[in-house]
Structures are given as C-alpha cells and as structure tokens.
Amino acid sequence: MYIPLHGHSTFSFLEAIGKPKDIVKKAKELWFSAIWLTDLNVIYGLIQLYQAANAEGIKPILWVEVGFVLDIHNVRNMKNVWSICLLATSSQWYLNLLKLVTYASQDWIEYRPKIDFQALKEYKEWILCFTWGVDSWIASMIRDSEPIEKVDETFDMLVSILWKENCFLEVIAQDEKEESEVKSINAAILWLSQRKNAPCIVSNIYQYPSVGDKVTHELAMAIKDNLTIYDPNHRAPKTQNHLMTEDEIRAMCKKNWYDESSINEWIDNTRKIADMCDASIEMWQKLFPKYEVEPDVLEKYEKYKNDLVVED
C-alpha cells in the first residue's frame, strides 16, 4: 500500500498551497490510511493536520523538511543549503523535532534555517530521515559536478549517526523525459542504494491537493518571486505535484522504465515507515519550556518565588 511520504501545505509559504484539513480531506477521498506533512523549515501546520487526520480516522505522521549542511560553522557558501526530511517516530521525538526546528531557525538564521551533523548527533534518538529531490545533498552534489565518491562519503556520515535502517533514499516519481535533472538524480539515488544496500521510497512530492490546483500553485510561486503569472520568467513546473494515488505513482515509475519488483519494494517501504511511526501529541495542556539559568538568578527566584504567585 502506497503512503504519500512527502508533501507541503500552505504553511510552506507560497511554495505550496492547501490547508492541512484540505490535504486530509483529499487523503480521505483517496483512501489513504496515513498522511505526511513535510513543510519547509516550519511545523506550524502539524497540529492542524494532526487534529484533522485523527478526526477522519487517518494516521498523522509528523515530519519537517529543513535546511541541512555538513558543518554549520564551516560553510563556504551559506546560500548553498541542502534539504533533509526528518520524521517523528515517537512522542519524545516530536519534542526533539521542536528543538531541532528552533535550533535551525534561531541560532543560525543566515539565508534560511538549517541544521548540521552536530545537531543530528544531539537529537538523533527516534529519528528517521530521507533525502529528496532537486534540493537534496545528492542532487546538489550532482549539480555541482562533485565526484560520486563524495556522495558516497556523505551518506556514510549520515549512516554513522542515524544507522542505516533509519536512512532512506527517495526516488522521484516524475516524468524523466520531461525533467532530465530528475533522471540524473534518480540514477544517483539508485546507484547509491545498490552500493550501500540502502532502502528506497518513492514519492512525487505533493504541493497541492488536487490536479486542478496546479494553476493556483503557479500563481502562489509567482507572487513569492514578485512576478505575474503572465511573466515568461515565472516558475511553471512540468512536474505533477498533486496528491497522487498508488496507481498514478506506479504508472509514472513504469513510464520511467523501472521494473515491477523495484516499484513494489519502494511502495512497500512507504507503508513500513508509516507502521514504524507512533507519535502522539498531548492536546489541551500547558507546556512550559525548561531553561537552564544562572545560579544567582535561581537563588533570587527561590527567595522571592512566593511573592510572584498571584491569587485568583
């Protein structure tokens, strides 16, 4: 059974459209048993998705797609930031997810939020991750004509932190004849998967719920780029980024001449990941962050805390 692992909502800020509840509604129409949301750099839509999915009897899976560099203290070009998707497999990891997103956005905000290997080491418990598409480290290295051995080395670094069974590679279900870059990225993904015996998943990366939303999605991106929809320079993707059914995913993979057994394995891995996820969010409670404070501040607090209580 195919589960859509990768997609964005309107909270990806003009890179995608579709409210979380609309995405869930479409997933319900397509009989998906689970639904993912991997908004860019933020998790503002997770609560809405979580509530809507539970109301519809669909399992919500909590992800985020965030900027990623090898070492945040030693980046030659800070604008050259890759993407990585991280998954909450447990309630504890959901809390770690909050910490990572805060780390990415608060401590190193130049150009775009980002994490590095050191951050992954610190919050590696209950993490699953996958690299995806045209903004992944694999795609960036290919685009920059890096040697294939460098791709190999970077994957080994990721595995050394998260373990191989927690690292997945993503095959892009888009027409490789229309998008030559997709073809080269998929070729590198499959080469690395075979070389490292690493599991693959498949996704078309949804950015709007239905086929008819494609034009509205183009308009949103044009607004973001300060262009009009009639400007020849506006982004007009040839890719199909609606919430695809399993039949559509299979048809696209077959169009790219992938064999049936591989397609079955990639699709089955999406279900296996969904089964591994058991994150829940305690709703309607007050959560207060725990801060480490200087000893003199703590001493003053203990001395005057009784005076800080306000009676109703």
Confidence of residue 116 (pLDDT cuts 50, 70, 90): confident
For position 59, what pLDDT does the model report? 93
User: Is the model more confident about 207 or about 159?
Assistant: 207
Q: Is the pLDDT of residue 287 over 70?
A: no
Joined tokens for residue 114: 């980002």
Given the structure tokens 């899976």, which residue do they identify?
61
Instruction: For 76-113, write each residue's pLDDT tens digit.
Output: 656 567 888 888 788 777 778 888 888 888 766 666 78
- Phi/psi of residue 60, nearest 5 degrees: -85, 135
Q: Calculate what percentage of the chain has a pLDDT beyond 90.
A: 43
Given the structure tokens 């070729």, which residue do they identify?
187
Range with the lowest mean pLDDT among 142-151, 190-199, 266-275? 142-151
Rounded mean pLDDT, 30-44: 91
Range with the lowest mean pLDDT among 109-118, 153-162, 201-210? 109-118
| DSSP β-bridge partners for residue 7 | 206
Q: Is the pLDDT of residue 245 over 90?
A: yes
Q: Is the pLDDT of residue 175 over 90?
A: yes
Q: Do the Cβ atoms of 256 and 71 come closer than 8 Å?
A: no
Instruction: For 213-235, write each residue's pLDDT tens digit.
Output: 999 999 999 999 999 999 999 99
For position 242, what pLDDT does the model report? 96
Rounded mean pLDDT, 259-266: 97
What whole-number distance in Å separates Cα of residue 296 and Cα of residue 310? 23
Confidence of residue 308 (pLDDT cuts 50, 70, 90): low
Q: Do the Cβ atoms of 210 and 243 come closer than 8 Å?
A: yes
Range with the lowest mean pLDDT among 44-53, 63-72, 198-207, 266-275? 63-72
Rounded mean pLDDT, 193-212: 93
Q: Is the pLDDT of residue 303 over 60?
A: yes
Q: Is the pLDDT of residue 267 over 70?
A: yes
What whole-number distance in Å separates Cα of residue 312 and Cα of residue 296? 30
What whole-number distance in Å separates Cα of residue 303 and Cα of residue 207? 54
Q: Please state, rounded to an integer, the average pLDDT across all residues of the chain.
A: 86
Rounded mean pLDDT, 65-71: 84
Q: Calculate what percentage of the chain has a pLDDT beyond 70.
A: 92
Range with the lowest mean pLDDT among 35-44, 141-150, 170-179, 223-232? 141-150
Q: Is the pLDDT of residue 53 over 80?
A: yes
Highest mean pLDDT among 132-136, 269-273, 282-286 belongs to: 269-273
| DSSP β-bridge partners for residue 22 | none
For position 122, what pLDDT does the model report? 85
Q: Is the pLDDT of residue 186 over 80?
A: yes
Task: Measure the CA dihedral 86/8/192/142, to 10°.
Answer: -120
For position 188, what pLDDT does the model report? 87
Amino acid letter, 209: P
Domain 10-283, CATH homologous superfamily name and number: Metal-dependent hydrolases (3.20.20.140)
Q: Spell out the SS3 assignment of the chain.
A: CCCCCCECCHHHCCCCCCCHHHHHHHHHHCCCCEEEECCECCCCCHHHHHHHHHHHCCEEEEEEEEEECCCCCCCCCCCCCEEEEEEECCHHHHHHHHHHHHHHHHCCCCCCCEECHHHHHHCCCCEEEEECCCCEHHHHHHHCCCCHHHHHHHHHHHHHHHCHHHEEEEEECCCCCCCHHHHHHHHHHHHHHHHHCCCEEEECCECCCCHHHHHHHHHHHHHHCCCCCCCCCCCCCCCCCCCCCHHHHHHHHHHCCCCHHHHHHHHHHHHHHHHHCCCCCCCCCCCCCCCCCCHHHHHHHHHHHHHHCCCC
What whole-number distance in Å separates Cα of residue 151 and Cα of residue 141? 7
What whole-number distance in Å separates Cα of residue 76 and Cα of residue 97? 27
What whole-number distance in Å separates Cα of residue 302 and Cα of residue 3? 52
Query: For the chain, what are the domain ranges?
Result: 10-283
Q: Do the Cβ atoms of 145 and 176 come closer than 8 Å?
A: no
Smallest CA-to-CA distance from 81 within 108, 50, 106 is with: 108
* Whole-prediction pTM: 0.86
